[in-house]
Structures are given as C-alpha cells and as structure tokens.
Amino acid sequence: MTYEDWFREDRLPHIYCVGCGNGTVINCTLSAVDQMGWNKEETVFVSGIGCSSRAPGYIVTDSLHTTHGRAIAFATGIKMANPDLKVIVFTGDGDLAAIGGNHFIHGCRRNIDLTVVCMNNMIYGMTGGQGSPTTPPGALSTTTPYGSREAAFDLCGLAAAAGANYVARYTSYHVTELTRAVRAGLESPGFSFIEALVQCPTNYGRRNKFRQVLDQIEYFKSHALLVQKANRMREEGKKIPDDMIIIGELARRNRPALGVRK
Amino acid sequence: MRLVIDESRCKGCNLCTLVCPYRIFRPGTTANRRGVIVPELDRPERCANCRLQHLYGRRLCGVCQMICPDQAITWEEEGPCEPVKVAIEY
C-alpha cells in the first residue's frame, strides 16, 4: 500500500491554485500516515476553514470539516470520545493562529494526543489575501498595502511554550524532512505540532516579489536554517539574519498526555 | 517502471523541474488541450526509481512525486519490450 491509496481519486485534481504548497503537505502527511501502517477505519482527519482545511475532502478516511478555528476543539472531542482513533488536524495559519488561537493554546496545555499539521502560507489565501497574524513584517497584502508593521506570530515558539510534546517546523521544499517530522509527531504521544511553511503564489507571492512559483520555493531553500546550526551560530556569537526561517525539530518532551489509553 | 505525468492533473507549476537530481523534468513549451503547459520529460529512463525500484523493493528518491502538489507524477509498470541501450550519467 502506498500513500496514493489514501486519496479520494474521484475528487482529484483539487481546487488549489497552480503551485500551491498545500498539495505537497498533504502528500507528506499521507506518506507519514502510510508509513505508520494505520488503517483507514481508525484514522480521522479534522480541519477548520480555509485553503488548507479543504485537505480532508481529498482523503478517503472519515473526516470533519468544522467551523472556523475550531478544528482542535472538535478533534479534542473525537479523541476523548474514542481514544482508539488516530486524529490528525489540518489547519492553516488564519485558522490556527487568529480565530482558533485559544483552542490551540489549550490543546497544547492539555497535551491531548493529536497531530496538528499547520500549513502556514503567511496570508489569508482563500478570502483574497488579507494579512494574517503570521504575515512577516514588511510583507504586502490587501490589508497591509504599505507593508505589515506588526511582528509575526512564532507558532512553534507558542506551541513549545504552551506545553506541546513535539514541535517541528519545515517548509514545503523540505519534503523528506517534513515527512519524517510528521511521522515523529504521529509516533509521539501527546500534542504534536508541525508547522509547514507553504508558498501561496496567487495571493502572497505575486504581491511580494515572488512572481513565479519557483521564486518562493527558492526563497525557502536559501533562507532555511537548521535549528542545530542556528544554536551553533548563537554560541559562536554570530548574528542570525532576521529573515532566516529556523527549521527543524524545535521541542520534544515527555509531559503526561491526555487521551491515551493506559 | 516508467515515469509518467498525468496531464489531466498537472497544472504546470514546474516544481518538479527544481527538485529532480537528474534534471529529467524540463519546463514545457506547448500548451495541452486544457491550456496547461505540462513539463517535458528529458530521457526519463535515467530516473533512479524507474531503474532500481524492483531491485530494491522500495521507492527510491521519489522527491518529484512528493513535491508535486497535484499528485500528477506516478510510475507505471511497463510491459516486456525490446532492450534499448541507455547511456547513464553518474
């Protein structure tokens, strides 16, 4: 069995724009789920509202497409009702960081046994490119036409501080690493949070000097900095440039988890 | 095994041209019936997965398939055919 068996073939091709990274993240997540050897009857995909949250519609397992921002709340309910189910949450940055921020923090605090894959495209892609909490400073969007003045949300730092058991960040360029990270998240009990930075050529890229799809992927490739190297640079007293994206496994701990059968 | 691009799914983003270590994918030049410029395959028999998947019994490399956002890249079984001499670059 390969990960392609998890797709709902009659629904493909999906509605994502040309070059959207969400499809890549779905590939990586399904590949990790397939490597775990789970069957389709005991796996549940949950999502909220947004581009990324359309993902469970293309997956053959049971899924919930819930209200905006409440994906983790619904997933908590599923997990508490039947701890034997494997619950994976697909969510976007507007879904998770903006309207669902509190559910996210409390999911981390409870350390409930979920795997949350956040496809962070740094913008509200579906509604026309409004600035989201993770829009980097200086980036243009329809609500920040002179450049965003606000600091962006560090979702991984938030998850690690709130008590998630496994936190990792990769981009849609790093497919093998992302697959490995999702797999590690699925294996570890407790709340696992994987942030995948994805390109949004339609609404983010074309306003921010990434005219072609490949431009933003090249940016991810050249501006990604592995966390081990970042730590080494800090020890040596070197300055890490502000625009670098720190990727890698950012937290792994063993807090007692909720929703795991003893 | 044979590398194929499913033209009914490909949207022409050319992400595969970036990741292939053998540079098998090249940006296409002509639009197909749906108006999508599908990448061209440059000597796809060089693909490591095509040659060695059966020998190793698992998927090798496969980065193009993983990064393809539209799930358009697959490998399909080939029927018996006449042997062709292939120059392999290392």
Q: Where are the domains of chain B?
A: 2-76
pLDDT at A138 over 80: yes
Give residue-wise pLDDT tens across range A140-183: 999 999 999 999 999 999 999 999 999 999 999 999 999 999 99
- pLDDT tier at A236 (50, 70, 90 boundaries)? very high
Q: Which residues of A touch B58 (CB under 8 A)?
A: none
* B60-84: pLDDT as tens digits: 888 999 999 999 999 888 877 777 7
Tell me: the pLDDT tens digits for A73-89? 999 999 999 999 999 99
Amino acid letter at A153? F
Distance from CA of A217 to the nearest CA of B (A): 8
Residue range B2-76 forms a domain whose CATH class is alpha beta
B15 to A31: CB separation less than 8 angstroms, yes or no? no
Average pLDDT score over chain A: 92
| pLDDT tens-digit map of B27-70 | 999 998 989 999 999 888 888 888 888 889 888 888 999 999 99
A134, pLDDT greater than 90:
yes
pLDDT at A55: 92
> Using 50, 70 and 90 to split pLDDT, how confident is the model at A45?
very high
> Per the CB < 8 Å rule, is A217 touching B66?
no
The continuous run of DSSP H or E covering A4 comes out as none
Is the model's pTM score more than 0.90? yes
Residues 6+ apart with CB under 8 A from B74: A4, B4, B6, B65
What's the token pair of residue A160?
């690690």
List CB contacts (< 8 A) between A20 and chain B: 69
Supply the pLDDT for residue A22.
93
Coil, strand or helix: which one is B75? strand
**Tens digits of per-residue pLDDT, A97-113?**
999 999 999 999 999 99
Question: Is B88 a residue whose pLDDT tops 90?
Answer: no
| Per-residue confidence (pLDDT) for residue B51, from 0 to 100 | 84
**Which SS3 state, helix, strand or coil, does residue A175 take?**
helix
Q: How many angstroms separate the first and last alpha carbons of chain B?
A: 20
Residue A37 corresponds to which tokens in the numbers above?
């050897």
Cβ contacts of A141 within 8 Å, gap of 6 or more: A123, A129, A130, A131, A135, A148, A203, A204, A207
- Average pLDDT rounded to a whole number, residues A230-239: 93
pLDDT reading at A25 higher than 80: yes
* ipTM, interface predicted TM-score of the complex: 0.85
Cβ within 8 Å of residue A64, ≥6 positions away = A44, A45, A46, A47, A56, A71, A74, A75, A78
Chain A contact for B67 (CB, 8 A cutoff) = yes
Residue B86 has pLDDT above 90, yes or no: no
The full set of domains in chain A, from first to last, is 22-252 (3.40.50.970)
Which residue in chain B has the smallest CA separation from A21? B69
